[in-house]
Amino acid sequence: MRLTNSKHLGRCILGYKRCITIIIHNYPADFWALSDFIMATNTPLPPKLLDQVRNRLRLKHYSIRTEHQYVQWARRFILFHQKRHPAGMGAAEVEAFLTYLAVKERVAAATQNQALSALLFLYREVLGVNLPWLENVVRAKRPARLPVVLTRREVAAVLDHMQGTHGLMARLLYGTGMRLMECMRLRVKDVDFERSEILIRDGKGGKDRVTMLPQALSVPMQAHLQTRRRLYDDDSAKGMSGVYLPDALARKYPEAATDWGWQYVFVAGRYSVDPRSGKERRHHMDEKLLQRAMKKAVLAAAIVKPATPHTLRHSFATHLLEGGYDIRTVQELLGHADVSTTMIYTHVLNKGGRGVTSPLDSL
């Protein structure tokens, strides 16, 4: 019924009150049961499963990238099994999903293991399931592969085709052995020109380490920071100089987010919204920009090796070993937890099969 005037509205309210009175008088038990049901439905609902995964990951200080990957693997697992709740599934469903990834999707062993790690996190940390089958799920065997390494001449050829900020970042990767994201997340305060060193904060595994600042990059870095300072001053004038601070530092030091020392050395050209806090600010540069610039430089240098920015890190380690530096020193510079990881670069030292003269050369 359309309420065209106050008279109609008054009649509806009166009719509603009469209905309630009749129900209370004739069916009191049913009325109060209905009332309790309505009150119960107004209580806050527990967070959805994927939100629980996010919250648990943030509680345990996983990176934003790991959070994105684990959430999407949990979502794919649920959709693969027709939206069944993971609590009602077990080892058979997990293995069926991993088999699908390997056989149908033909994913790499590392990708399959990442999916398994995400599902184990879902069951152990979110659902609180600690069953024997969790330990018995077989991980894919990762093949042992040698890293792609550029020669010194090839590195020089690639760097000759990279100029500006991208060229500076590529030279920094090769000159320091930093990982791609370590370079992207570099802060102004962690570059020490007097000691010619760079402090790498919160690297892989959450570890800090120190590496060298090449003398050849001291002047270009200072020039870049002067340009960066002008951009910072412009952002400060707009009230947009705040940056992301790890963990609880933003609460402990409320003004630190706008300090010059905490600014990213390499920043994006525009503001973006932080996916966790929802704040709009200038983030560090997107790593895809450097990856594309590196790809163009490799093609321009006529190099057929599948070189990426991470190849510069492999080349850094290889060339240090070729120069006679101790493998423990190289391990420390790279930030490897185990020297066996660094040992993969010893393939360049002409030991084993490469140290043997081919019989063809003796003919």
Could you give the residue numbers annotated as active site?
179, 204, 310, 313, 336, 345
- CB-neighbour burial class of residue 124 (10 A; exposed 0-12, middle 13-18, buried 19+): middle
Look up tokens 């629980």; give the residue: 52
Q: Which residues pair with 264 in a beta bridge?
A: 187
CB 217 within 8 A of CB 171: yes
- CA dist., res. 319 & res. 170, Å (int): 16
Look up tokens 């009230």; give the residue: 239
- CA dist., res. 207 & res. 362, Å (int): 51
The phi-psi region of residue 106 (left if phi > 0; otherwise alpha if psi is between -120 and 50; otherwise beta) is left
CB 242 within 8 A of CB 257: yes
315 φ, ψ (degrees, to nearest 5): -65, -40
Nearest residue to 312 (alpha-carbon basis) of 291, 283, 281, 289 = 291
Task: Name residues whose C-beta falls within 8 Å of residue 211's C-beta, 6 or more positions apart in sequence.
Answer: 176, 177, 178, 197, 198, 200, 333
- CA dist., res. 42 & res. 47, Å (int): 15
Q: Which residues pair with 265 in a beta bridge?
A: none
